[in-house]
Amino acid sequence: MGLIKKNADNLNVQVEKKVNTTRNLNTNITKAKDRKSLRVNTSTYNTIRSISYIREEKMYAILDEMVEDYKKTKLSPREREIFDNMTEK
């Protein structure tokens, strides 16, 4: 049995929704070659690795979240201001 050739122009297809083709090109993403090693205790490494596995995220993404949470909850406003001034590029 052969393929049936249909004339697509006669189908009058109406498209109601369009695909979002915009891309989120975040320029703040650090390249792998620019990342630095960080030495931690084995228990700390295993904890981060387990969280990374459970959440299906990269370990450095988990660490980024941890640092942001630490800055928000543990640093005083003055310490946060000093930290932000130190880390500005």
Residue 51 lies in a domain: yes
| pLDDT recorded at residue 28 | 66
Structure tokens at 84: 């932000």
| pLDDT recorded at residue 7 | 67
Contacts for 80 with CB less than 8 Å, ≥ 6 apart: 71
Residue 12 lies in a domain: no
Residue 49 lies in a domain: yes
pLDDT tens digits for range 54-89: 999 999 899 999 999 999 999 999 999 999 898 875
Contacts for 62 with CB less than 8 Å, ≥ 6 apart: 48, 51, 52, 55
Model confidence pTM above 0.95? no
Q: What range does the domain containing 79 cover?
A: 36-89
pLDDT tens digits for range 4-59: 666 666 667 677 777 767 766 666 677 778 888 889 999 999 999 999 999 999 99
Structure tokens at 43: 């228990």
Number of domains in the chain: 1
